[in-house]
Structure 1
Amino acid sequence: MTRTTIRSRRQRRAQPTQNIYLPHSSWTRVEPVPAANATIAPDDFWLRLGL
């Protein structure tokens, strides 16, 4: 009879995943800041609301 040898496998250490930074276009979009005291015409107000 021949002996069968059982070889134990070495476990590899998990490689740390490299995070790739992918900026999204919406992150860099600059929205205009409305003036705090700017008044809106009544017609423009209702137009912006879609009514």
Structure 2
Amino acid sequence: MTDYFDDYSPYMEIDVMKQVDGYPMTRRNHECVHLFYCPYCQNEEVRFIKE
């Protein structure tokens, strides 16, 4: 999800981005935040995936 913050976000270190992703436990829990989108119902859902 942090890849969408700005043009340079996809090239930043993941641990740095976890400090500003808005979810305080992602770094400690070794999780990545993923955004899922359904084109049929246009629903967005955030899910936490273990590294």
Interval of TM-score (by shorter of Structure 1 and Structure 2): under 0.3
TM-score normalised by L of structure 1: 0.19
| TM-score (norm: length of structure 2) | 0.19
Higher relative contact order (CA 8 A, sep 6+): 2
